[in-house]
Every structure is written in C-alpha cells, then in structure tokens.
C-alpha cells in the first residue's frame, strides 16, 4: 500500500491511503488519523489500511478523491528519530568516511518537510546542497539486531531530499559532535510505500531502480539506487541499534545516491549517470580540472527527485521544491 499525509492545519496532518498509480486517495479516518499511530500499532492497523488500499486500487473505495501531492506534508511530518548514513561511499559527498562503516549520523526529526515545501534558509553562502536519497521507516527494533533481522523491521520506503549546508560541514565535522547547523530539515516524497509495492525492485535491503534528479528542470542524475549502495538498509539500522533499541517510526536515510565512476577509452574516470548532490559534482570536477566550478544552490533554484518503476509510473510521487529566503529578508 501507499500512504501519504495531507496538511490539515495540525502538526501531524491527516493520513491518506493513495492508489498505486497515485491518481486517487482516501482518508484513513476510522482507522488512524496519523501515520505515527499506525507505526505504533502496525500489526493491528496496517491490515485495515491494506484493505482500504485494495478497495481504492479496485475503484471500490466509497469516498475516493483525486490525489494532490501539493497538499502533502512528509508522510511522517515529525518523527521521534531521523538518522542518515553515507551508504554510497563511491560518492564524493561521503569522502572522509572509511568505507568499512556506514557513517550514520543522528539528524533533526522535529520537522520533516513535505515534497513541495520550500527549503527556507537564511543565506546562500551556507553552501546549500540537495541530496537525493532513499529512506525507510522502521517498526520497533531490538538492541543489537543483526543486519538481516533489521530488514524485517522495515515498514515503509520513501524518497528523501537530504539538504546539507556544505560550507558549515567542515567546521562541524572537525568539532566531532556531528551535524547540527549543517543539516537542516530533510524533505520527503509525497507517499511512503510498503515493500510489496516495490516488488522485485526491493532486494536484500536495496531498491534496484534508477533515481532521477532534476536541478532547475535539467536532469543531472539518473543513478541506480541499488548498484552503488555499499551498506544496505539492514546494515544502517543495525549500526544505529548497536547499543540501544529503536522506537517505531525511526526514519533512516541512505545519504545521496551515487554510482561508481567508469573509465572511458582514454582512461579518464567519468560518471555517465550523473550526480545526486552537488558535492559529488564538485568532487568530479576537482578530479578532472583541479577545482570545482559548479556552485551550490541559489534562492529560486528548484530540485525534483523521482523514481519510476519498470512500467514507467512514478512510485513515490516527486519531491519538487524550491530553495527560498525567509520571508521578509
């Protein structure tokens, strides 16, 4: 099934079931008002949502209406935990992480952005970067879980735009206390989907489909999300759960998707499938030319992130958002 959350003026919004083709939706009222409730009591509530999903997909749901991603909050508008790794160590944005560890950091989960929400930041000088990623939502995870066991705790999959403030990161990295100012709110796709919606594309903790990123309407990345993922989601979750259990509704991100470079006939490394964060692009440029020339995001820039299934249909809907200055600035 596919789940979304509409803005309704409240902090947690209103839970919807969305049809497989993202064409129609139905309020989950009567089952649950908000997604956290479902995650807290998955075994009891998910089957009821699943029944509604079947009715909706068969055109039999009684109060279905057209689904509008513009009205979406993040599927989980605020979470009790958000952590992200650097699961694609081939990407330059992961530079500095030993490839033996998934570089998981604890992020801010008090406000997760909807797919069409502006990314409001005080200054372009912060080095604003997008980060097209995959994210999962877990149920309860016991302490010390193995990577394989951890896969069984994954409830939902989403896309994420992990915003980084690259000019602030070296300072925070040097302090050794993690990213507080350099990782503002992360945005999520209109819908979160269960694993069965991914079918064979979900295999051993990875989503084996290409992720597409557009920057100001221009396609800049079409990497395979499965191929370069050195640490699968079970490994990310197990890393996080090594010394403590994780509560239901923990959101875990992969870090920006990237594929390893390939050598062309002249022996030069190239990245034909592009990039999913500007830091990677700048690292490619530095390798080729000794310095980066692509600048970070400017106010007014747009970022669109989407993943299509083998049938060409959008699986999660698109993250499609603009970078904006605070009002009144």
Given the rule CB under 8 A, which residues bind a second copy? 11, 40, 78-81, 83, 96-98, 101, 103-111, 120-122, 126, 143-144, 165, 168, 172-182, 184-185, 239-240, 242-250, 326
Q: Which is nearer to a second copy, 112 or 284 (CB)?
A: 112
The Cα–Cα gap between 306 and 309 comes to: 10
CB 314, min distance to a second copy, A: 28
CB of 151 to a second copy, least distance (A): 19
**Quick one: 125 exposed, middle or buried, by C-beta within 10 A (0-12, 13-18, 19+)?**
exposed
Nearer to a second copy, 14 or 24 (CB): 14
At closest approach, how far in Å is the CB of 5 from a second copy?
15
Specify the residue, 168 or 232, whose C-beta has the smaller distance to a second copy: 168
Q: Do 52 and 61 form a contact (C-beta atoms < 8 A)?
A: yes
308 closest CA partner among 169, 194, 213: 213
Nearer to a second copy, 163 or 207 (CB): 163
Q: CA–CA separation, 99 vs 266, rounded Å?
A: 28
Min dist. Cβ of residue 256 to a second copy (A)? 15
Q: How far is the CB of 161 from a second copy (least distance, A)?
A: 14
How far is 149 from 138, CA to CA, in rounded Å? Answer: 12
Q: Do residues 23 and 67 touch, judged by C-beta distance below 8 A?
A: yes
**In angstroms, what is the minimal distance from the CB of 180 to a second copy?**
5
Q: At its nearest, how many Å lie between a second copy and the CB of residue 243?
A: 5
Which lies closer to a second copy via its Cβ, residue 178 or residue 272?
A: 178
Integer Cα distance of 309 and 209 in angstroms: 7
Per-residue tokens: 137: 């939502």
CA dist., res. 86 & res. 293, Å (int) = 24
The residue (of 30 and 98) whose beta carbon lies closer to a second copy is 98
Tally of CB atoms within 10 A around 61: 19
Q: Shortest Cβ distance from residue 245 to a second copy (Å)?
A: 7
SS3 labels along 90-147: CCHHHCCCCCCCCCCEEECCCCCECCCCCEECCCHHHCEECCEEEEEEECCECCCCCH
* Angstrom distance (rounded) from CA 231 to CA 258: 13
Compute the radius of gyration of the chain from its Cα atoms.
Answer: 19
Based on CB atoms, which residue is closest to a second copy, 120 or 287? Answer: 120
Which CB sits closer to a second copy, 143 or 219? 143
Q: Rounded to whole angstroms, what are the CA distances from 249 to 137, 237, 252, 267, 319?
A: 6, 12, 10, 46, 21
């Amino acid at each position: 099934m596919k789940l979304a959350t509409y803005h309704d003026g409240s902090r947690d919004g209103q839970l919807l079931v969305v049809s497989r083709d993202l064409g129609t939706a139905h309020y989950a009222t009567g089952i649950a008002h908000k997604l956290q409730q479902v995650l807290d009591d998955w075994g009891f509530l998910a089957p009821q949502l699943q029944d509604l999903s079947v009715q909706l997909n068969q055109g039999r749901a009684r109060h279905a209406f057209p689904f509008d991603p513009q009205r979406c909050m993040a599927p989980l508008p605020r979470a009790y935990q958000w952590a992200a790794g650097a699961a694609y160590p081939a990407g330059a944005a992961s530079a500095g992480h030993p490839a033996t560890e998934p570089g998981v950091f604890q992020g801010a989960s008090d406000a997760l952005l909807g797919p069409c929400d502006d990314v409001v930041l005080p200054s372009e000088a912060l080095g604003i970067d997008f980060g097209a990623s995959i994210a999962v939502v877990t149920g309860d995870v016991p302490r010390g879980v193995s990577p394989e066991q951890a896969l069984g705790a994954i409830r939902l999959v989403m896309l994420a735009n992990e915003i980084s403030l690259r000019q602030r990161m070296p300072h925070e990295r040097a302090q050794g206390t993690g990213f507080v100012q350099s990782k503002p709110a992360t945005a999520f796709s209109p819908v979160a989907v269960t694993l069965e919606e991914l079918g064979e594309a979900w295999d051993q903790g990875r989503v084996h489909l290409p992720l597409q990123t557009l920057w100001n309407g221009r396609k800049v990345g079409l990497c395979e999300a499965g191929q370069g993922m050195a640490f699968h989601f079970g490994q990310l979750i197990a890393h996080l759960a090594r010394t403590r259990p994780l509560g239901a509704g923990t959101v875990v991100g992969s870090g920006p998707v990237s594929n390893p470079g390939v050598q062309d006939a002249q022996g030069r490394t190239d990245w034909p499938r592009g990039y999913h964060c500007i830091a990677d692009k700048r690292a490619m440029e530095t390798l080729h030319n000794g310095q980066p020339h692509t600048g970070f995001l400017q106010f007014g820039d747009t970022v669109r992130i989407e993943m299509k299934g083998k049938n060409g249909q959008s699986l999660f809907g698109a993250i499609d958002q603009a970078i904006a200055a605070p009002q009144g600035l």
